[in-house]
Structure 1
Amino acid sequence: MRGADLINLLLPDEILDEVLRRVAVSGAKRDLDACALVCRRWRRHDRATRRSAKLAASGARADEVLRLVAERFPALVEVSVDERISVEAAAAGPSCAAARSRRRPMYDVSPSGRRRRMSRSSNFGAHMSPFPLDQPGSDNETERTCLTDVGLTSLARGCKGLEKLSLVWCSSITSTGLVRISENCKNLSSLDLQACYIGDPGLIAIGEGCKLLRNLNLRFVEGTSDEGLIGLIKNCGQSLVSLGVATCAWMTDASLHAVGSHCPNLEFLSLESDHIKNEGVVSVAKGCRLLKTLKLQCMGAGDEALDAIGLFCSFLESLSLNNFEKFTDRSLSSIAKGCKNLTDLILNDCHLLTDRSLEFVARSCKKLARLKINGCQNMETAALEHIGRWCPGLLELSLIYCPRIQDSAFLEVGRGCSLLRSLYLVDCSRISDDALCYIAQGCKNLTELSIRRGYEIGDKALISFAENCKSLRELTLQFCERVSDAGLTAIAEGCPLRKLNLCGCQLITDNGLTAIARGCPDLVYLDISVLWSIGDMALAEIGEGCSQLKDIALSHCPEVTDVGLGHLVRGCLPLQSCQMVYCRRVSSTGIATIVSGCPKLKKLLVEEWKVSERTRRRAGSVLSFLCTGL
């Protein structure tokens, strides 16, 4: 009956709360916002139960925004504040176009509440400058428009049940703000202070007040010292499970000694420092024997440090070693002997490692599932052969700039690693079609293949994948100059792709893309940049055949014109992102066609001089311009 509110008459508060909770768990934020707009009762319940918020925090009203959020949503347990995004920029984003016209508050929590007019002066980017430690009274204009301790204090007092707090690039936050958090938010379990300029008193206060802290990220944190981290760890180290410290010039072995002494339950450690020596890593290994994930970039550490990891950390599952200049095969031998549960291994720019390293790992770590080798120039074919022989559970293999590995290595991988799902090859100059045929014939469960600058890769490999790998969904062939329409046609007939990158494959023409458009109707991502032979016919076929396409890149395509863009947008209504710079035959008319024909468009990268004033007014929030003034 019109005018009768039967739902609210029959629906008790408990059931309504459960409905909103399930929407929050399983649905998108816009679904929860829609619930809040049903009526005043639903809005009231949403405000009382909303649990998470993501906020832009650079702007003239940043502190007020955070205060309003804390007042209206007191049940928040997870708050993320990112100062790289201004309040004004967030309001001008494509997802907020409708909200802007209704003058909603400019924060990402709920559409409900009183509507306010916010300042539209542009401060985006200015907040990136560093500030002196604990000097909120600076006359710097940037600091006055950034989130400060005032806003953080409002959040602490209004949301005392806060459990997760992320402050990204909040450069005006000082120790005072963290002291307020520690005084009011006793249930805090996760704290991310990426690129914040806080001092030792703030960290010490968090340790004293937040005894349940489990996750701590101090990436790019300046202004503090060993004293602050040690003070925190001494007070709440027993509960700490995850710790990340990266590019912090102040950190020395003293902090790691404290970690080893007070964090027996630590499972995740990410450490990047040029000042850490063997002693610090050894202390962590001896004291944190439950470590499961370890990411190290310590220029001063060597074999002794990794020997200790292998000796004491038997539960280790994931190990990432980056830019080590001192450790040798001896280190990985120790890891292999002691860490039998290792499933993930990443080796970046470890120049002293040889084939013997991977032989140790392959023979001992039979659970290895993901392997990435980047820039380890002394590793040759034998290294990969060992993996193929001894690691039957391998799921992902990534080889980046490995110029000494040859085709024969992939014969063993194809024979022994039948479960392989993802293969990434970048700048591996000696790998040809034969290597990939071995993979295609042996690894028939492959779902993702990515090859960049594979100058010896051609149609023979693609035909083999089309015949054998019917589950292939993602294919990248960047600057594989021997790939032509024949190989692409075979892929279109045999593999229902969802993502395809053909950037720089100069032999591809309209015929190859026509085959893709007709054979891969589920395509959602397509990169056809730097294909000089394709034209409007290819775009017309894509528009007709790929109705689910969301992202397309067609920069440096000189034969594409406004006509082709018109055909494309008529069929690809879900299109959200488009890049088309240096398309000499595309004019302002073509850009206007994309804007007007794609209602879901979020980003369009073009040259600024091609955009008409009318298009700029209509879709300024989705336009990104190529920087041509450098």
Structure 2
Amino acid sequence: MRLPNQHGCAISMEDLPEALLGEIIKRLPTTSDLNSLSLVSKRLYTVEAELRGAIYVGCGVCPVTVALASLCSRFRNLCKVEFNYSGWMPNDGMQLGNEGLHVFSSCCPSLTDLTLSFCAHIDDSGLGFLACFKKLMSLRLKALPQLTSAGLLSVAVGCKSLSALRLISCKNVHGVEWLEYLGKSGSLEELVVVNCVKIRQFDLLSFGSGFMKVQKFEFQNVCLPYSFIKFDVPSNMAGDQSRYDFCGDFLKDLTLARISTEAEIGLCCLLRKCKALENLSLYYVLGVHDSDMITMAQSNRNLRSISLMLTPQHCEGYVYRTALTDDSLKALDLWCPMLQSVELTFYGCEPDWPEIGFTQEGLVMLIRSCPIRDLKLGGANIFDDEGMKALSCARFLESLKLINCIAITDAGMHFLARSPSLTNLMLELCHGLTMMGWSRLCAHES
């Protein structure tokens, strides 16, 4: 292939400087584009192979062991590889198994990031080969049915450079030995455990001193906790305060979902131990109270994003409502001046009863005080047209999403048309709105 230069003379792709070829290759976003480019000339084929840093292997790559050897022979600088067999059927051919992982571990020395998803034929012995990846820093394991805690322990012991571990839907992983080892080694900066049915929040406490270095921690339980069942602390945890003898000074990103806790017991203790939080997400966590949020806000003045999904629970006396009140919002207002993103979702709150602990006044106070650019409200039946009027004066608000906010009417949309910075608006299931409200908003914008 030959291209004209500024003087009209033809230049071969073979004559282009390697740095320029590299820039061309980096600007191509898709694998198909890269594959097509490599067919243009031998030099491009060679340069593209040297620069290719990531590949994706899915259903249909068969025989996978032979294909891996060929791919690794061509792409010698691979640092990120994903194997994903989601939707695999028997007629798709063989998946990656222990033998294939063994072959792969011997021919990809630069690997730093590995994802294994829906690999039904990989077990603990196969994971033992990961120790051969001396530079492996990030490991994501999703839906590996044969994986147990023994396999994770071999990873913890063998992968000395590991700094990020994500476990998703690994149903047979249990035990705490691997957590204890990772905690004592202090190498992890990111630990994510999502929908692993045999891993409990109390098991995660075995990570212990590992929380002192970790920057991102996420634990999501499979099912919603049942608010009518008394919180049951395992007997070996009762009174054992040594399990909580750690701090989270570097934790920036914390997500807890679908767990039940009590004061000073369980993973919610992290709210009182963090000092550098920037992103906080609490999804249907029973047992978090205003005092926890106040302590968190006082210690984390760099908080930029908070996402709360709340459901009613039995509070003091006979009160049945979401546990957090305006006191939590006031704490965010006073001590989190950098807060830019807020999501508040309420589930199971009847519109005819005051089952939401927040008030509209508390929400408006927070919106006016903090530089909030992104706001999402779901099921907020306390939020009406007066709240929309307050939003119209929010100087920084750029993105607004309202879902199932039934008290908002066309009049509220009229107020919203005056918002000075709003550029992105999404409304779903707000049944008080009609096309008239939309037309007024559109007419104002035009």
Please give the range of the TM-score, normalised by the shorter of the 2 chains.
Answer: 0.7 to 0.9
Question: How far off is 1:346 after superposition?
Answer: 0.7
**1:93-492 counterparts in 2 under 5 A?**
188=25, 193=30, 205=39, 208=42, 210-214=44-48, 236=49, 240-248=52-60, 250=62, 252-273=64-85, 275-297=95-117, 298-310=119-131, 312-354=132-174, 355-364=176-185, 366-401=186-221, 415-427=246-258, 429-432=259-262, 434=264, 435=266, 438-481=269-312, 482=322, 483-492=324-333
Instruction: Say whether residues 1:517 and 2:367 are aligned partners.
Output: yes
In the alignment of these two chains, the number of paired residues is 398
Write 1 or 2 for the structure with the bigger share of helix. 1
Question: How far off is 1:413 after superposition?
Answer: 6.7
**Would you say the 8 A contact 2:212–2:246 is kept in 1?**
no
**Corresponding residue number in structure 2 for 1:120:** none
Query: What is the distance in 2 between the residues matched to 1:490 and 1:479?
Result: 18
**Would you say the 8 A contact 2:193–2:219 is kept in 1?**
yes
Question: How far off is 1:533 after superposition?
Answer: 1.9
Question: How far off is 1:532 after superposition?
Answer: 1.1
Query: What is the distance in 2 between the residues matched to 1:388 and 1:350?
Result: 22
Query: What is the distance in 2 between the residues matched to 1:370 and 1:515?
Result: 34
Question: How far off is 1:276 after superposition?
Answer: 1.3
Query: What is the distance in 1 between the residues matched to 2:5 and 2:153?
Result: 53
Q: 1:523 to 1:243 in 2, by over 3 A?
A: same
Question: How far off is 1:457 after superposition?
Answer: 3.1
Question: How far off is 1:307 after superposition?
Answer: 0.7
Instruction: Say whether residues 1:549 and 2:393 are aligned partners.
Output: no
**Corresponding residue number in structure 2 for 1:595:** 442
- 2:442 maps to a residue whose letter is V
Question: How far off is 1:575 after superposition?
Answer: 0.9
Q: 1:332 to 1:213 in 2, by over 3 A?
A: farther
Q: 1:239 to 1:485 in 2, by over 3 A?
A: closer
Deviations 1:16-43 (A, max 9, x none): xxxxxxxxxxxxxxxxxxxxxxxxxxxx
Instruction: Say whether residues 1:532 and 2:344 are aligned partners.
Output: no
Question: How far off is 1:415 after superposition?
Answer: 2.5
| Higher relative contact order, structure no. (Cα contacts within 8 Å, ≥ 6 residues apart) | 2
Question: How far off is 1:437 after superposition?
Answer: 6.1
Deviations 1:483-522 (A, max 9, x none): 23332233222223211111216513312212212321x1
Question: How far off is 1:208 after superposition?
Answer: 5.0
- Where structure 2 has 5 or more consecutive residues not aligned to the other structure, the ranges are 7-11, 89-94, 226-231, 313-321, 350-355
Q: Give 3-state SS (helix, strand or coil) of 1:244's partner.
A: strand
Q: Give 3-state SS (helix, strand or coil) of 1:352's partner.
A: coil
- 2:427 maps to a residue whose letter is M
Query: What is the distance in 2 between the residues matched to 1:513 and 1:410?
Result: 36
- 1:211 maps to a residue whose letter is Y
Q: 1:186 to 1:348 in 2, by over 3 A?
A: closer
Query: What is the distance in 1 between the residues matched to 2:18 and 2:56?
Result: 18
Q: Percent identity?
A: 21
**1:612-627 counterparts in 2 under 5 A?**
none
> Which shows bigger deviation, 448-457 or 404-413?
404-413
**Would you say the 8 A contact 2:414–2:441 is kept in 1?**
yes
Deviating 4+ runs (over 6 angstroms): 160-164, 184-187, 201-204, 403-411
- Where structure 1 has 5 or more consecutive residues not aligned to the other structure, the ranges are 1-70, 76-156, 165-183, 215-235, 599-617, 619-630
Query: What is the distance in 1 between the residues matched to 2:73 and 2:155?
Result: 22
**CA-based RMSD:** 3.8
Q: Give 3-state SS (helix, strand or coil) of 1:461's partner.
A: helix
**Corresponding residue number in structure 2 for 1:503:** 345
**Would you say the 8 A contact 2:383–2:405 is kept in 1?**
yes
Question: How far off is 1:557 after superposition?
Answer: 1.6
TM-score under structure 2 length normalisation: 0.77
Q: 1:203 to 1:567 in 2, by over 3 A?
A: closer
